[in-house]
């Protein structure tokens, strides 16, 4: 498999002007996704995950007057490298829904309630593949079969409100996959589903990925899902990347206190580590600081049990620990300096 990333994101920042000041929802975010691999972005609500995905898709509402900085390098199906942030509107429309697709959090608000399921899938196919109406509907039927919707020929002519939540999510996947995208952005695609349907949807996405070789940017707050389906993990807090690592090393030895707190919140975490099961679940104290008044130093400092006075003074840089691993923490910097001193001595 090629080692050239399908997508590279460098120093992506997205801010929104408000009456009370500038809200910086995403700040200097960088990551990459390899072909056929899954990169997960995790973090609490308000950490900037969805804004990152909508910025990349150029789907932020115009009325928000978003201020976007940074650059991207997306490799198209034809091998051409383009910057999604500066691409012309016409060229971006030709990519969106075709080579670059997205599954949204709530399919009921993403699917058009006045059009039948088959028509909504066929519209994308007609636009990007140039098929006539009959051929596009036949392709839509094949996509519904592909995502394992029962009685697909019947569902083709039904409206979104006639389907269950799990079936609507499968329709969203069929719509996203209709034109064989090379990159699929899945923004919490299983949040509103019960665990059984969630497992089926995730297994379906994994199967489609193995069959098509597409890359997936998976946005979620569910670390259990990340452990089973991601190859690489980007942990975000207050709009910034605080840790970046392959999935196994991240779960085995998290470096940032925020990542450690997230993992400690998992039910049964202590028991799996061979320790007595705690009587109460662990919870990270406090809440995310307001984006209008972020602390001058580390954004996580007010909630961190390991914080020291220096954490309040300066935002720590994202430090490279070793190939493939990064963390934004002053204690990590101190440990690296001590290790360097020990090596020199």
Are 41 and 49 spatial neighbours (Cβ–Cβ below 8 Å)?
yes
Q: Which of 144, 147, 146 is nearest to 158 (CA)?
A: 144
Backbone angles phi, psi at 9, to 5 degrees: -115, 125
pLDDT of residue 336 exceeding 70, the answer is no
Where is 63: in which H helix or E strand? Answer: none
- For 133: left if phi > 0, alpha if psi spans -120 to 50, otherwise beta; the answer is alpha
Lowest mean pLDDT among 51-60, 221-230, 254-263, 335-344: 335-344
Encode pLDDT of 171-207 as tens digits: 988 898 888 899 999 988 877 677 887 888 888 888 8
- 268 versus 326: which is more confidently predicted? 326
Place of tokens 């383009």: 82
In the chain, the N- to C-terminal Cα span, in Å, equals 42
Q: Can you say whether the dihedral through the CA atoms of 281, 202, 48, 297 is positive or negative?
A: positive
234, 306 contact by CB (below 8 A): no
| pLDDT, position 40 | 96
**Closest alpha carbon to 56 in 217, 231, 289:** 217
pTM of the complete model: 0.88
Q: Name the nearest CA neighbour of 81 among 184, 182, 3, 6.
A: 6
Provide CB contacts within 8 A for 249, sequence distance 6+.
Answer: 324, 325
Sign of CA dihedral 58, 59, 60, 62: positive
The contacts of residue 307 (CB under 8 Å, 6+ apart) are 298, 301
Whether the CB-CB separation of 54 and 60 falls below 8 Å is answered with yes
Cβ atoms of 171 and 139 within 8 Å: the answer is no
Buried-exposed string 180-200: b where 16+ CB fall within 10 A, e elsewhere = ebbbbbbbbbbebbeeebbeb
Closest among 336, 318, 129 to 235, alpha carbons compared: 318
Asked if residues 205 and 27 have their Cβ atoms less than 8 Å apart, the reply is no
User: In this predicted model, what pLDDT tens digit does every residue of 100-159 receive, in sequence order?
Assistant: 999 887 777 788 999 999 999 999 999 898 899 999 999 999 999 988 889 999 999 999
Q: Which residues pair with 42 in a beta bridge?
A: 220, 235
Tell me the mean pLDDT in the region 306-312. 88
pLDDT: which is higher, 87 or 194:
87
pLDDT of residue 342: 39
Name the band, by pLDDT with cuts 50, 70 and 90, for residue 279.
low
Whole-number Å distance between alpha carbons of 97 and 126:
12
SS3 content of the chain, % helix, strand, coil (to 5): 40, 20, 40
C-alpha 146 chain-centroid distance: 24
Retrieve residue 315's tokens: 């935002």
């Amino acid at each position: 498999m090629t080692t050239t990333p399908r997508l590279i994101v460098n120093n992506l920042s997205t801010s929104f002007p408000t009456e009370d000041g500038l809200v910086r929802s995403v700040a200097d975010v960088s990551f990459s996704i390899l072909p056929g691999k899954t990169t997960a972005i995790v973090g609490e609500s308000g950490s900037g995950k969805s804004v990152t995905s909508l910025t990349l898709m150029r789907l932020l509402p115009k009325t928000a007057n978003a201020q976007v900085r940074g650059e991207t390098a997306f490799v198209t199906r034809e091998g051409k490298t383009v910057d999604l942030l500066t691409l012309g509107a016409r060229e971006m429309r030709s990519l969106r829904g075709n080579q670059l697709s997205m599954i949204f959090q709530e399919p009921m608000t993403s699917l058009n309630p006045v059009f039948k399921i088959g028509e909504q899938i066929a519209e994308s196919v007609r636009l990007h593949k140039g098929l006539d109406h009959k051929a596009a509907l036949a392709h839509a039927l094949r996509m519904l079969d592909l995502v394992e919707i029962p009685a697909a020929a019947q569902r083709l002519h039904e409206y979104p409100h006639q389907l269950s939540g799990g079936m609507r999510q499968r329709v969203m996947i069929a719509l996203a996959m209709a034109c064989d995208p090379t990159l699929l952005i899945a923004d919490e695609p299983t949040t509103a589903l019960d665990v059984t349907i969630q497992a089926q949807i995730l297994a379906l996405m994994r199967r489609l990925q193995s069959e098509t070789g597409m890359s997936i940017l998976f946005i979620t707050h569910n670390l259990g899902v990340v452990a089973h389906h991601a190859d690489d993990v980007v942990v975000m807090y207050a709009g910034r990347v605080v840790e970046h690592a392959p999935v196994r090393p991240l779960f085995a030895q998290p470096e940032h206190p925020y990542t450690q707190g997230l993992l400690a919140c998992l039910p049964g975490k202590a028991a799996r580590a061979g320790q007595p099961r705690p009587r109460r679940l662990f919870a990270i104290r406090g809440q995310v600081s307001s984006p209008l008044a972020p602390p001058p130093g580390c954004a996580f400092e007010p909630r961190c049990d390991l914080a020291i006075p220096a954490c309040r003074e300066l935002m720590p840089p994202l430090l490279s620990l070793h190939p493939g691993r990064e963390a934004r923490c002053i204690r990590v910097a101190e440990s690296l300096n001590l290790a360097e001193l020990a090596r020199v001595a």
